[in-house]
Structure 1
Amino acid sequence: MSINKKMSANSILALKDALVAIYYRKKDLRQFIELTIENAAIVSTIDWADNVKYESVSQLIDRMVKRQDFYQTDLLKLVQEVGNINDFSHLEYWEKENRGLIKKAEVAVGKLRQQAKGHFDTIEELKKAEERRETTKEKLKDSIAYQQKLDELKMEFYEIASNTNSQQKGFQFEKFLNKLFNFFDLDPKSAFKVIGEQIDGAFTFDNTDYLLEAKWQEKSIIAADLYTFGGKIQGKLKNTLGLFVSLGPYSSECTETGSSVLKSMILMDGMDLMQVLEGRVRLNDMILIKRRHASQTGDIYYQMK
């Protein structure tokens, strides 16, 4: 974040005085500064051994002020950290021989707070900007990881599609569905079981339990396939729903029937699955859209645009 508001001369003088006052020993002050600022290498360019404390501090701050384009955030951090000091008990040991150390530190820090009052809003802006940057970086990282995993699933799906061995294809599709549903946090209740090329399973979404039936076959799904699945759903608890996934087409009789047996399921096809794998829609969002459409219209086969 670029801050154009440079520190005033009075703020700089108050910062110098406060830094000198908050620590008695130069090595303690040096450590405090090194731990506070990000670009701490500049601290080692100062002669802390031979200079008196104020001279070392003054040289350091003056060098940072000359390059506020580079050190402005560090200067503001020093203002913030010094201004936040309320406990001066670390000076008590030297207070016995140098009376007034604690009072002097309190006054100096108080003066800094007064002189740099306008900069504390800037400090908050910096903090919020940094938080936004961190949030954005995390979102970007998550987005990249999400896309990479989706690409892996898509390549795995293509490999399954190219397999001519029906039995192998069924087992591969079982593993693929487990990965897909886990990836979208759809909480598979049990491993998907394979019967030929037919996969049965269960998952939970939006506080609703679903039975899953998936078929990978060239011929169209007919109403009898759906009635068989509907019978399985009816054998479960009342609010259980079903998701039927067919990579092949559905016959017209599947969608034209008005039987109540089929009103407890929604249908997905290969085009739907490709939309998920290509990142155009998330699987859980697709299920939600299809379920709402079925609830509102009675149409269990909503084709996503």
Structure 2
Amino acid sequence: MIPMTFPNDIKLSMRDCILKVLWPKDDIVTFFRNNSCTKSDIDALGDHKTLHRYQIVDNMFTYLSTKPDEGLGQYRAMLQSLVNWQQFDPYYFEKLGKLDKTEAERSITHLKQLQEIRDHKIQERRKAQARKEAATKVPSTTLPELKTKFISLLQSEVIGAKRGYVLEEILQSLCKISSLEVTEPYRVNGEQIDGSLKYDGEHYIIEAKWQEKAIANEAVYQFAGKIEGKMYGRGFLFQSTDLAKM
């Protein structure tokens, strides 16, 4: 999964932009309010009029970092607002000379570049992840190879508990060759699940058993009990022998 957070270099660049496009303290607070900052976010600043301009920004950014989502929504809104900024108040930029438009535009351009770099990295990671996921879906074996492996089980070339694991591998590979979505074996609440597959929009739990002697019908009831409490509610039981007669 691609981590959804804002790098520190983008936050620092956003801070720089805010201070170079806005002068009045009230305007800085209004900027936060207009970009998804809640009333509680604003209240966390206290009396902003007693703070320096940079302290207002720093305090807000520090507060947002303590939120469960690390201020993701607020940072997203602020970023989009700043990279598209066109409001250069002549009163502060030209008449009073408190702000410099050239510096402000330079900071905005730098922020845009950082955003493009970040977006490119995210896209590359997503492509790499997609390639990795696609590779796992490509069958690594063929049907003749699976047949040979299954015959080796019948001929007792594999003995003991390993036969059950080999049968699981055969079933997993068979599902992949059949272009079925399949998960690897896993454990949940201490219970072994031999895997699951998706067919025709429905999910099925897989149970694989390899035994030389006929198994009791109780195994079927146990499997039914295993899937009954699961979200899927259905499954496949694969076994190497017949059930014992009732």
TM-score by length of 2: 0.43
| Larger CA Rg, structure 1 vs 2 | 1
Which protein, 1 or 2, shows the higher relative CO under an 8 Å CA cutoff with sep ≥ 6?
Answer: 2
TM-score by length of 1: 0.35
Q: Which structure has the highest helix share of the two? A: 1
